[in-house]
Amino acid sequence: MRILICEDSVLLREGLVRLLEHSGHEVSGAFADTAGVAEAVEQDRPDLCILDVRMPPTFTDEGIRLALDLRARHPQLPVLVLSQYVEERYASELISGQGGAFGYLLKDRVADVAEFVEAVGRIAGGATVLDPEVVAQLLTRRGKDARMDRLTARERTVLAVLAEGRSNQAIAAQLFLSEASVEKHITAIFQKLELDQDESGNRRVLAAIAHIQSAGAAAAPDAQQAPQTRQTGFTS
């Protein structure tokens, strides 16, 4: 697989290059800013793009705007966005935007090499992969959609794992449930959210989160608020 990287941190950028090449992939380009990335994608046609959220020169939304542009211009191009911590407004824009396979991961996930490489493969294969904390924060904005209040605690947990692109079998194993129970929970989730069901788990999750977010624009993150530290093993 040919992968293009856009990351301003030289340590993380070079680390990603070595990690991906060691895993058998080819890095077609490694950029320190967004300049020239769109042209490189047009010419080289990579199989996946990995982009940082905040890039030079302003370190605000350059990476997000580039990701949205690439998803609009190349709907079939899988895009993986990396972020230092959850930025709900940006996540909402990306999830509800145009495009195909997509991932939004917190940077600490790269520290777990096996998990990260697996996520890269699933995104390239057409899955939607969202960091569990991204999902958790999006789903807890209860004021936006009263329908989310209909979900039980267990259904919220199932939805969060499903949004990672996991199969019903994997969800059952992770949550110590039977596959029949998982199927029942998923059916209930989409009935309560009034969403039509289809055969693609990834599309259903994407549609659910986009639908939740469409009820109202997410508030911009407070620039003065310190990043939250996660205590899970799948961290950023």
Q: Has residue 235 been placed in a domain?
A: no
Q: Coil, strand, or helix at residue 134?
A: helix
In angstroms, the CA 130 to CA 123 distance is: 10
pLDDT in tens, 23-44: 999 999 999 999 999 999 999 9
Q: Has residue 229 been placed in a domain?
A: no
Give, to the nearest 10 degrees, the angle between helix 179-192 and helix 168-175. Answer: 110
Q: Residue range 107-121: average pLDDT?
A: 89
* % of the chain beyond a pLDDT of 70: 74
Q: Has residue 153 been placed in a domain?
A: yes
Residue 17 has pLDDT above 60, yes or no: yes
**In this predicted structure, what is the pLDDT of residue 144?**
52
> What's the mean pLDDT when you consider all of the chain?
78
In angstroms, the CA 26 to CA 97 distance is: 28
Residue numbers of the domain that contains 156 = 142-214
With bands split at pLDDT 50, 70 and 90, how would you rate the model's confidence at 110?
confident
| pLDDT top residue among 153 and 144 | 153
Hey, which of 40-44, 94-98, 134-138, 223-227 has the most confident mean pLDDT? 40-44
With bands split at pLDDT 50, 70 and 90, how would you rate the model's confidence at 99?
low
Q: Has residue 230 been placed in a domain?
A: no
**2 φ, ψ to 5°?**
-100, 125
**In this predicted structure, what is the pLDDT of residue 204?**
60
154 plus 78 within the same structural domain: no
**In this predicted structure, what is the pLDDT of residue 214?**
40
75 plus 154 within the same structural domain: no
19 plus 125 within the same structural domain: yes
| pLDDT top residue among 194 and 152 | 152
pLDDT in tens, 46-89: 999 999 988 998 888 889 889 989 988 998 899 999 988 777 77
With bands split at pLDDT 50, 70 and 90, how would you rate the model's confidence at 139?
low
Burial class (CB in 10 A: 0-12, 13-18, 19+), 213: buried
Give, to the nearest 10 degrees, the angle between helix 132-139 and helix 88-96. Answer: 100
Residue 233 has pLDDT above 70, yes or no: no
Paired residues of 50 in beta bridges: 5, 80
Q: How many domains does the chain have?
A: 2
158 plus 126 within the same structural domain: no
Residue 131 has pLDDT above 70, yes or no: yes
19 plus 90 within the same structural domain: yes
93 plus 180 within the same structural domain: no
| pLDDT top residue among 141 and 114 | 114
Q: Which of 125, 33, 35 lies closest to 80 in space, CA to CA?
A: 125
Give, to the nearest 10 degrees, the angle between helix 10-22 and helix 113-124. Answer: 70
> CATH code at 33?
3.40.50.2300
Residue 213 has pLDDT above 50, yes or no: yes
